[in-house]
Amino acid sequence: MLLLAAAFLVAFVLLLYMVSPLISPKPLALPGAHVVVSGLLLLRPDLRPATDARPLTALPQALAPRKRRPRGGSPAALLPGTVPSGRASGLGDPPPLHLAPPEAGGRCDWGQRQPAGSWSARGSVTGGSSGIGKCVAIECYKQGAFITLVARNEDKLLQAKKEIEKYAINDKQVVLCISVDVSQDYNQVENVIKQAQEKLGPVDMLVNCAGMSVPGKFEELEVSTFEKLMSINYLGSVYPSRAVITTMKERRVGRIVFVSSQAGQLGLFGFTAYSPSKFAIRGLAEALQMEVKPYNVYVTVAYPPDTDTPGFAEENKMKPLETRLISETTSVCKPEQVAKQIVKDAIQGNFNSSIGSDGYMLSALTCGMAPVTSITEGLQQVVTMGLFRTIALFYLGSFDSIVRRCMMRSAKSEPEDKTA
C-alpha cells in the first residue's frame, strides 16, 4: 500500500511539472529589448529632491529630442552624451518587434527567438545609477537589451552609462540617460518616459528601483520622514508604472518589476517608516497583476535581503543597535547576485523574486493570496508552509530576545550616566 501511495505521489508531481508550463507566461526575449531602470539616488534623509533637471545643450541639434514642456513643471533633461554620434537618423524609429500581432489569438509570442539584429523588446530601469538598479541594467545589457536609465544624480548616471556600455554584445545597443526625480511630479515622469520611447521605442520592461531607508525608533523619527519614504518608495514606483502601462496593454507585451525588500515582507524593529512603504508596493503589485494579466503583461515583486550598495552603507550609519543586531543574523548579498535573480524572474514572468534560502522561506510564508505562475509553485507553498512557520517562530523568538537584551542594557546604562 505504501509503495502504491508513493508511486501515485510521484506520478502526481510529474503530472504537475508537465502541466505547469501550460499556465506559465512565455519568457520575454531580451535581445533588442528596451529596459527602463527607474528611480532616484537619495542616501541621506536631509537631501532635498531636485525641482529642475539640467537642460539639454551639449548635443548637436540633429541629436537633440524635440523640446516639450511637461504640464506640471520644467523640462527634464536627456543628459549630454547619451545618444551616440552618427545614430540620430532612424534611432527614434527602430525596426518593429518580431512578435505575433495581438489579433493572432490575442496573444504575443514571447518565446520566439529573434534573428540577429532584430528588435524583440525594450526596457527601462529607474534608480539605475547605482546599486541594484545599475546591476540590473548591466545584466539586461549583457543579454542584448537597449537601456534607459532614469535617476536624479546626473554625475552618477553618466558614470553608470560608461560602465554599462562595456558589456555591449553588439554595436547597435544604446544606453540612454534621463535625469529626473520620479517621486515628485507625475507629469514630468510621463514626459521623460515619452522621450525615452521616442528614442528607443515602446518600453517592454520597466524596473522600479526607487528606494530610500531611514531607520530609527518610531517615536524618534520625524513625521515628515514617514511622508518622504512613502513618496519615494511607493509613489516613486507608481509614477513610472502608470506612464508605461497603457502602451504595454495596447501592445499586449510587458514586464513591470517592483524592487521591494525583505522588510516589505516582515516588519522589523527600526523600520516603522521604511517597512510600510515597501509593504505598499506588494499591494499595488497584486492588484495591478490582476488587472493586466489578461493583456499578457506580468508583474514581478523582488524582495532582496541586505545588499552591499551605497544606500545600505548609509543606512547602517543610522540603524539603532537592535536593528543592526537583527540584520547581522543574515548575510549581506552582492548586488550582482540580486540583479541576476531579478532579471531571471522578470523574464519568466514570476510574481515573486527572492534571494537565497531565507528569501524563499519568507516568500512561501507570506504568499497569502499572491498570484502564482505555475502549479508547482503553488504546491510547494502548500507543502512547506507548516515547516517554514515552525522555523519562523524560532527567528521571531530570537529577534524578541535581541530587543529585550538591548532594552536591559539601555536600562542599566541610564543610572551610570546619571551618576557620572
Q: Which residues are catalytic?
A: 260, 274, 278
Distance, CA of 39 to CA of 235 (rounded, Å): 10
3-class DSSP string for 45-75: CCCCCCCCCCCCCCCCCCCCCCCCCCCCCCC
Helix/strand/coil for 127: strand
C-alpha cell at 287: 492588484
Is 170 within 8 Å of 219 (Cβ atoms)?
Answer: no
Show the beta-strand stretches assigned E in 84-180. 123-126, 146-151, 175-179
Task: List Cα–Cα distances, 50 to 53, 113, 182, in angstroms.
Answer: 7, 42, 10
* DSSP label at residue 263: G
Q: What are the phi and psi torsion angles at 44 (to 5°)?
A: -120, 145
The angle at the Cα of 201, spanning 287 to 95, to the nearest 5 degrees, equals: 130
The strand pair at 175-179 and 77-78 is best described as antiparallel
Is 311 within 8 Å of 361 (Cβ atoms)?
Answer: no
Is 54 within 8 Å of 79 (Cβ atoms)?
Answer: yes
Q: What are the phi and psi torsion angles at 217 (to 5°)?
A: -70, 145
The residue type of 115 is P
Alpha helix (H) residue ranges in 296-374: 310-316, 321-327, 335-348, 356-365
